[in-house]
C-alpha cells in the first residue's frame, strides 16, 4: 500500500494528538476539511485510522494485522511443502540414520505397504544411539512414534493451521497425507512434508516479494 | 482492511475481465460511473487495482505484500528470541547430549570463559554417537562447529534478516550475541537463541492477533 506524503503526515498527527477532529487536522496541515476528506476516507477504510463519532480520529493499534492474516491464510500446505523421505518399517535404525544424513532431513516417515504407520526424528535416533542398543539389528518400526499419534496435514489445508499444529504439538515437521480407503479401512499415503523450515522459508519469501 | 461487498465484486470482475474500463465495470454492476468512483479510488490507492491510462483497470499481483513486508520488518530479534543453552567446551559429549534432552533443544552453544567459541547440533551428536567413539571421554569442544564459522545475530537486528540467515546458511538456530572487547580482542557473549521455532511461532502469532 502506497500512502501519500499527506496521508503519512495525517497518521503522525493522529498518533501524537489522538483523539483529533478533522477540523483540527485541517488546521494543523493548513488545508480545508473538504481537501482532507478523501485522505481520511482512505485511512479509515484501510483501518489505519478509526473515526469515533463526536470524539475524533484515533490510530488503530493493529492496522495491518488483518491484511497480514488474510495474506497468510491464502497460502496452502501444497504450495510450500517439501518432498518427504519415507522408509519401510523393517529398515534397520542404522540404515535409517544413513538415509537421514544422505537426505539431510530431520524426520523420516515410516510406511508399511505404502501407508503411513509412523515417524522417527533425529531426537529418537540420538536416544537409541547412546542407549547401547545394536542399531544394526533393531528395525526402525520399533523406535518410531506410531499412528494414530502422528499429527498430519492435508495438501489443501492452509499453511497457517499447519504452523499452529507444529507449535502446539511441539514437533519439527508434519507428514502431508492423502486419505484413501482400502478394505473398509481409512489409510494415509504420504505425499509431502511440512516443517519449520518450510514456514521459515515462507516467512522470508513474504518479505522478498517486495524488494 | 475491510472491503465492502461492492469493492469485492469489482475485484472479481477485474480479475476475470482485465483490462476493464470503469464504464464496462459500471455497466456490469448496473450503476453509474460516478457511483463507482470512490470505490475505484480506494482500490487503486491501496494498490489492489492498478489503473492504466487508456487501457483500464488490472488486478495487481501482489497487493498486500508491501504491508506484510513493513509489518515483518518491524519485529526485532530481541522480541522473539529464546533462552540459550550454553555449556563449557570441556563438557563431555555424553553430558552435552543429556543437557540437550533435559532442555529439549536442538542446538547447544559452547563457551570458553563465558565467550562463544562454537555450536553443536543434534546432527553433530548423532554423527559421533554412531561413529563408535567413546562419548564419555571426548569433550564437546572437539566435535563442535568452531568460531568464526558460526553465523550469529544481534538483539537489535530485525527478525526478518535472522530468518534469511537461517535459510541461506541452512542452520536450525542462531546464537544471539552481544559484542564486547577484552584485551584488544572482539568477543561475543551469548544472550539468546533464535531458531526456526521462533520464526514459526511468530508466524502463528501474526495470524492470532486478528482472531
What ipTM, to 2 d.p.? 0.73
pLDDT band at A133 (very low <50, low <70, confident <90, very high): confident
Asked whether the beta carbons of residue A204 and residue B167 sit closer than 8 angstroms, the reply is yes
Measured from the Cβ of residue A52, the count of other Cβ atoms closer than 10 Å reads: 11
In this structure, are B155 and B177 located in the same domain?
Answer: yes
In this structure, are A29 and A11 located in the same domain?
Answer: yes
In this structure, are B89 and B19 located in the same domain?
Answer: no
CB A160 within 8 A of CB B200: no
For residue A26, pLDDT beyond 90 = yes
**What integer is the mean pLDDT of A106-120?**
96
The DSSP letter of residue A112 is E
Residues from chain B contacting residue A197 (CB–CB below 8 Å): 167, 196
**What integer is the mean pLDDT of A26-38?**
89
Number of domains in chain B: 2
Digitized pLDDT (tens) for each residue of chain B, 211 residues in all: 567 888 889 999 998 998 999 999 999 999 998 888 888 887 887 777 888 888 889 887 654 556 667 677 789 999 999 999 999 999 999 999 999 999 999 999 999 999 999 999 999 999 999 988 889 999 999 999 999 999 999 999 999 999 999 999 999 999 999 999 988 999 999 999 999 999 999 988 887 754 4
Instruction: Choose the closest CB to B70 out of A64, A125, A130.
Output: A64
Asked whether the beta carbons of residue B67 and residue A68 sit closer than 8 angstroms, the reply is yes
In this structure, are B101 and B41 located in the same domain?
Answer: no
Reported as half-sphere exposure (CB side, CA atoms, 13 A), residue A136 has a value of 3
Beta-ladder partners of B67: none
CB B175 within 8 A of CB B109: yes
Asked whether the beta carbons of residue A71 and residue B64 sit closer than 8 angstroms, the reply is yes
In this structure, are B87 and B116 located in the same domain?
Answer: yes
Distance, in Å, from the CA atom of B130 to the CA atom of B200, rounded to the nearest integer, reads: 31
pLDDT of residue B71: 72
What lies within 8 Å, CB to CB, of A82 at 6+ separation is A192, A193, A194, A195, A197, A198
Number of A/B CB contacts below 8 angstroms equals 153
Shortest distance between the Cα of B25 and any Cα of chain A, in A, equals: 21
Look up cell 563438557; give the residue: B91
Residue A47: domain span: 5-63
pLDDT of residue A63: 47
In this structure, are B122 and B191 located in the same domain?
Answer: yes
For residue B69, being part of any structural domain is answered with no
CATH of residue A191's domain is 3.10.580.10
For B82, left (φ over 0), alpha (ψ -120 to 50), or beta? beta
For residue B164, which of A200, A23, A143, A88 has the smallest C-alpha distance?
A: A200
Amino acid at each position: 500500500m502506497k500512502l501519500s506524503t499527506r496521508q503519512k503526515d495525517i497518521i503522525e498527527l493522529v498518533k501524537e494528538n489522538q483523539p483529533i477532529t478533522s477540523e483540527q487536522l485541517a488546521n494543523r496541515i493548513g488545508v480545508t476539511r473538504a481537501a482532507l476528506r478523501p485522505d481520511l476516507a482512505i485511512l479509515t477504510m484501510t483501518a489505519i485510522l478509526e473515526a469515533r463519532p463526536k470524539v475524533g480520529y484515533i490510530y488503530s493499534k493493529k492496522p495491518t494485522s488483518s491484511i497480514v492474516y488474510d495474506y497468510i491464510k491464502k497460502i496452502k500446505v501444497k504450495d510450500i511443502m517439501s518432498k518427504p523421505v519415507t522408509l519401510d518399517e523393517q529398515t534397520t535404525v542404522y540404515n535409517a540414520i544413513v538415509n537421514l544424513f544422505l537426505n539431510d532431513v530431520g524426520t523420516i516417515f515410516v510406511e508399511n505397504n505404502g501407508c503411513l504407520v509412523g515417524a522417527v526424528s533425529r531426537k529418537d535416533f540420538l536416544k537409541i544411539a547412546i542407549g547401547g542398543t545394536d542399531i544394526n539389528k533393531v528395525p526402525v518400526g520399533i523406535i518410531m512414534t506410531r499412528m494414530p499419534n502422528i499429527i498430519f496435514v492435508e495438501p489443501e489445508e492452509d499453511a497457517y493451521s499447519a504452523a499452529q499444529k507444529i507449535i502446539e504439538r511441539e514437533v519439527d515437521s508434519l507428514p502431508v497425507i492423502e486419505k484413501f480407503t482400502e478394505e473398509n479401512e481409512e489409510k494415509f499415503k504420504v505425499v509431502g512434508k511440512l516443517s519449520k523450515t518450510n514456514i521459515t522459508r515462507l516467512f522470508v519469501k513474504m518479505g522478498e516479494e517486495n524488494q
